[in-house]
Amino acid sequence: MADTAHLPEAFTAETEPAALEDLRARLRATRWPDAPEDAGWSLGTDVAYLRELVAYWADGFDWPAQEAWLSRLPRFRVRLGGLGIHFVHARAAAPAGPVLPLVLSHGWPDSFWRYAKVIPLLTDPGAHGADPADAFDVVVPDIPGFGYSDRPGRPLDSIAVAGLWAELMRVLGYERFGAAGGDLGSHVSRYLGLDHPGRVVAVHRMDGGLPVFTGDPADLTPEERAWFQTVAEWGAAEGAYGAVHRTKPQTAAFGLTDSPAGLAAWIVEKLRAWSDCGGDVERRFTKDEILTNVTLYWLTGTIGSSMRMYHANAAIPAAQHARRVEVPSGFSLFRGDIVRPPRAWLERTTNAVHVTEPPRGGHFAPFEEPELYAEELRAFFRPYRTAATGT
């Protein structure tokens, strides 16, 4: 799969002014839908809020400043499996002991943006009031079809992405490493543990994924059966986006690729619904932060390719879902996240050695609560540092 002859090259993104002018013109020309009186967010994205956000996007948002903020991270591109892969590679700043390499996998609807705040806390814990011995070398790739990575001609599933990440870590000189992620990145991290157990010292995840169980339901605990019912109810009320992504992503891609307001509506509704914001999305994300995420999707044209990964994952055989992760696994189930699994399910499906329930944060905890998320990773991976370095 890998093109091992290729070496990483430094990467800097710089948007052409014409692309920003086109974006602003489209925003100003938005054709707005009506909405029932007092609908608010009950039927999807609130029209009044999106009008406010789009007005700021068109006339107040400073993308070059945000682009520069993202460029403070050491970013690279490398060719693997015939695809250009964009990634952050930030080395431990002042290590005081064994340094654990850590690959962080993002989800949807985001990119390497998910970890932009937490990377400095992980590479230089001493500068942020934590133990310098907990420093990581951090690698944050964009999944193919997301961010600045190439869009694959055929959608890749989480198994294939895990294979790419294993090769990426080898190219970077890391034979053994830790893996962590949430959302789609939780799936990728799971398959890193399943398919590369000799290289992955431990796996940390923010969720247990949506459950797939082909056994006898009588074998499930009462807590697991109740969770399955909760997941089904959540899917009926909140899962329409996923059904679109799994079945007809290309149809939605036309409108979302053509209309920046439509793209913002598709993404912002999830930032609000899945974060620990109490119904006010700007309790967790400033307008600049929201629009940085959305603008990344707009400028790279990746909303369609990102959604197609759901279609690829839907074709993963049930036998893959039934495999148990035997490498040590940890879970941080943040209070505001969706469909949080019971411990019985985590122990059924993984070698769960560490499960916590942080009191704040949601689906995007690395961005919502970077300090808390960093501490979760430090605590979980602390016993596995010497396993990765051989010391």
Q: Give the whole-angstrom CA distance, residue 294 versus residue 287.
A: 10
* 9, two tokens: 């090259």
Question: Residue 338 corresponds to which amino acid?
Answer: I
The active-site residue, picked from 106, 297, 363, 384, is: 363
Using CA atoms of 76, 79, 83, 84 in order, give the dihedral in degrees to the nearest 10: 20
Residues whose CB falls within 8 Å of the CB of residue 55, separated by 6 or more in sequence, listed in order:
none
Closest by Cα among 92, 86, 90, 123 to 106? 86
Cα 149 from chain centre: 14
- Active-site option among 110, 134, 183, 207: 183
C-alpha distance across the termini of the chain, in Å? 31
User: Among this protein's residues, is 363 annotated catalytic?
Assistant: yes
**Helix, strand and coil percent figures for the chain, each rounded to 5:** 50, 15, 35
- Which residues are CB-neighbours of 374 under 8 A, at least 6 positions away? 118, 121, 122, 125, 128, 130
CA–CA gap between residue 387 and residue 203 (Å, rounded): 13
219 catalytic? Reply is: no
Kindly report the backbone phi and psi dihedral angles of residue 8, in degrees, each rounded to the nearest multiple of 5, phi listed first. Answer: -60, 145
Which of 310, 337, 373, 384 is catalytic? The answer is: 310
Neighbours of 174 (CB within 10 A): 19
Surface-to-core class of residue 214, CB atoms within 10 Å of its CB (0-12 exposed, 13-18 middle, 19+ buried): exposed
Cβ proximity of 78 and 7 under 8 Å: yes
The total of other beta-carbon atoms located within 10 Å of residue 247's CB is 12
Please report where in the chains the tokens 């406010």 appear, as a residue.
52
Among this protein's residues, is 310 annotated catalytic?
A: yes
What would the two tokens of residue 155 be? 């959608």
For 85, the token pair is 């892969």
Sign of the alpha-carbon dihedral angle for 47, 269, 67, 251: negative
- Which residues does the annotation mark as catalytic? 183, 310, 363
